[in-house]
Structure 1
């Protein structure tokens, strides 16, 4: 269906006057807040909690783990009882648990709260994209998926800056900011349709149908692409790069946040143009080009000797995310019927969380355990991963064009 909830769009493909549209966008923005906001703080958290590089990566891992296992079941719940009655509790859980971290300096307690916050974050972006697929269709749907990705990029650009600035007040203040999801949850209660996405599909039938779709080569390729894209981005950029910038260049949290924002801004611009890109290139071609951009960024970081060059390299990551992730989302939401859409997006999100989890601890653990210094380890990992990803993306693009 292609409804206009919340007001007239004035003929535009973007429903600027729809309150529901803003709830959808806000949910996505909150869904990416959990990592982006605290990424510049990772070096400082080493001192606050008295931990190593590998241990501080657990702030990302503890947050990501719930999404690996819970998202498909949350997807079923959203398809069964409706999107609203799943989205609202997640928003409240995210805000309460995230803000609670500000009141502890115990690592086990903080990681436990991050785990609960991760439960709240599991399906926020997934449900936002699912709602777009429910409510809109045709080119408007593709455009809004791109706009949603663009707004995620804007948020991801703003959050490191905000996190770095708030941290200058006190390390705990960025965690308090997570509480903004609570008023969004209240707004979702008031505005979302109670029946959106609700169906009478039974669990056994649902699992059978989802499993059949997952085995399709196209679905497997999409999920693999999601995992790899997120593994590279969260391992190399979100976790390893802030530690590298702190240890090798002596940058503060606010300066790190400013540099990381470049990738997110490039993502925002690229995603906002996705509707145009999708008319010229197929989704597999755009995903392949995204991986070429990832690899190029990694190789530039490996060769960089100044923060200015690293800033240029981050443009590659932003472009890659802006091409790859909207392409994957568009293919997933159109791969199945309405009553399976949230479930398939749930599997997609499980792959995203798995990439976050392994990427965050993978890069830091390998650099910490197998190299003389973590700086040497991060640079070597950038080189090896960059060569592999660039070559793979380039070969896939050529194969899709032929």
Structure 2
């Protein structure tokens, strides 16, 4: 691939990556206006934010299977068009049921784009170039987390329907992808005449042979669980400090995303000095410090410390998770196995309000962050013990 073609391909992939992770947060600033506009309760209005995520969890494994069979390019382009159509439909509809159905289409689109991006990076790049591309992908996610909600909020001053126009960006991206994304040669896993049960047994047999893969899913689930503890509950902590303006709250969350972008951009360089296990341990240390700081912050200025520290850690964990799946998954299963990573992440996002909401029910808002700190500390200890046992086993074998 020529240099110009390479840059154009990566630019399209990274641009689409900014859209996937924050597909719900684009319209987050106008949920109240949507509720009034379509005349539904708060809980029904909340479904407009969460429905696409449920579809991602369900559809991602299907998308992964299709990617393994036909390669990532066509499912990825298909997903971009679905994303634009399903998300952008909100500009034109003004009643609840059609709007909810459009979010279903959006969720299917995100599932195909998310998995397509992952396998495209696996197949178009290798070695340090792949680590660099995975880091840039996480940085693009962070940029989307910082930028798109601000754009959505600004458009929300025009009408509750205007923020949905952001999703339409995916359509020209789909056209650009047709021109810029090459066929990879990935896919084409042959059909066999085994029963569905036998194929499922063979698929999950991979987990038995490579138990580290479920561990990566658990890591990614936990990272998203803690991320959404910040997204959902940090505004309440800020309110205790007198920060109630939606613009200022958005600034703190944008700083969280920007910090993740910085560490993700440096990811491949950090790998030159440390291995992935060390980077993830460092991320947990940052999370323990940041979430612990949230328990005691007392001023608006010091309230930036937790989001900066957490974001820096996130920029190390996300690309590490994708890189581990690439190295552990059989080549003909990368789509399927990476799709479960997406499902694990969105399950973590769903679980955060439930898990930490239960804590809030028995403790004040700072108790939520104390619980999150303990969760990060437990994960740090578990990973540290696992690495110590592996080191002793390797030493014994030698």
**Which residue of structure 1 lines up, in the alignment, with residue 129 of structure 2?**
140
**Which residue of structure 1 lines up, in the alignment, with residue 335 of structure 2?**
342
Structure 1 position 126, deviation (Å): 2.7
Give the direction of change, closer, same or farther, for the CA distance of 1:73–1:130 in structure 2 (3 Å limit): same
Matched, 1:388 2:372: no
Give the direction of change, closer, same or farther, for the CA distance of 1:363–1:98 in structure 2 (3 Å limit): farther
Aligned to 2:139, which of 150, 162, 166?
150
**Which residue of structure 2 lines up, in the alignment, with residue 12 of structure 1?**
none
Aligned to 1:232, which of 221, 226, 229?
226
For 2:28 and 2:294, how far apart are their aligned partners in 1? Answer: 18
**1:9-40 alpha-carbon deviations (Å, 9 max, x no partner):** 6xxxxx7x532222221221221230342344
Count of paired positions: 383
**Which residue of structure 2 lines up, in the alignment, with residue 8 of structure 1?**
3
CA contact (8 A) 2:119 2:335 kept: yes
Give the direction of change, closer, same or farther, for the CA distance of 1:292–1:102 in structure 2 (3 Å limit): farther
Matched, 1:31 2:31: no
Matched, 1:183 2:167: no
Give the direction of change, closer, same or farther, for the CA distance of 1:45–1:358 in structure 2 (3 Å limit): farther
**Which residue of structure 1 lines up, in the alignment, with residue 293 of structure 2?**
300
Worse-superposed segment, 281-290 or 73-82: 281-290
CA contact (8 A) 1:297 1:317 kept: yes
Structure 1 position 226, deviation (Å): 0.8
For 1:250 and 1:56, how far apart are their aligned partners in 2? Answer: 25
CA contact (8 A) 2:60 2:111 kept: yes
**Which residue of structure 1 lines up, in the alignment, with residue 347 of structure 2?**
354
After superposition, residues 239-278 of structure 1 pair within 5 angstroms as 239-242=232-235, 245=238, 249=242, 251-278=244-271
After superposition, residues 77-92 of structure 1 pair within 5 angstroms as 77-92=66-81
Worse-superposed segment, 392-401 or 64-73: 392-401
For 2:341 and 2:249, how far apart are their aligned partners in 1? Answer: 30
Q: TM-score normalized by structure 1?
A: 0.85
CA contact (8 A) 2:120 2:184 kept: no
**1:99-124 alpha-carbon deviations (Å, 9 max, x no partner):** 22244564554333223211111132
CA contact (8 A) 2:121 2:130 kept: yes
For 1:244 and 1:37, how far apart are their aligned partners in 2? Answer: 22
For 1:211 and 1:302, how far apart are their aligned partners in 2? Answer: 41
CA contact (8 A) 1:104 1:110 kept: yes
Give the direction of change, closer, same or farther, for the CA distance of 1:387–1:103 in structure 2 (3 Å limit): same
CA contact (8 A) 2:77 2:113 kept: no
**Which residue of structure 2 lines up, in the alignment, with residue 313 of structure 1?**
306
Structure 1 position 278, deviation (Å): 1.8
For 1:126 and 1:320, how far apart are their aligned partners in 2? Answer: 23
For 2:303 and 2:159, how far apart are their aligned partners in 1? Answer: 27
CA contact (8 A) 1:96 1:179 kept: yes
**1:322-365 alpha-carbon deviations (Å, 9 max, x no partner):** 11111111010111232211111111111112112222454457
**1:137-184 alpha-carbon deviations (Å, 9 max, x no partner):** 111111111122122222222223323322233333222111100111
For 2:356 and 2:96, how far apart are their aligned partners in 1? Answer: 21
Structure 1 position 273, deviation (Å): 0.8
Structure 1 position 246, deviation (Å): 6.0
Structure 1 position 397, deviation (Å): 3.4
Structure 1 gaps, min length 5: 10-14
Q: TM-score normalized by structure 2?
A: 0.85
For 1:104 and 1:62, how far apart are their aligned partners in 2? Answer: 17
Structure 1 position 251, deviation (Å): 2.5
CA contact (8 A) 1:147 1:272 kept: yes
CA contact (8 A) 1:285 1:397 kept: no
For 1:300 and 1:38, how far apart are their aligned partners in 2? Answer: 29
For 1:110 and 1:362, how far apart are their aligned partners in 2? Answer: 28
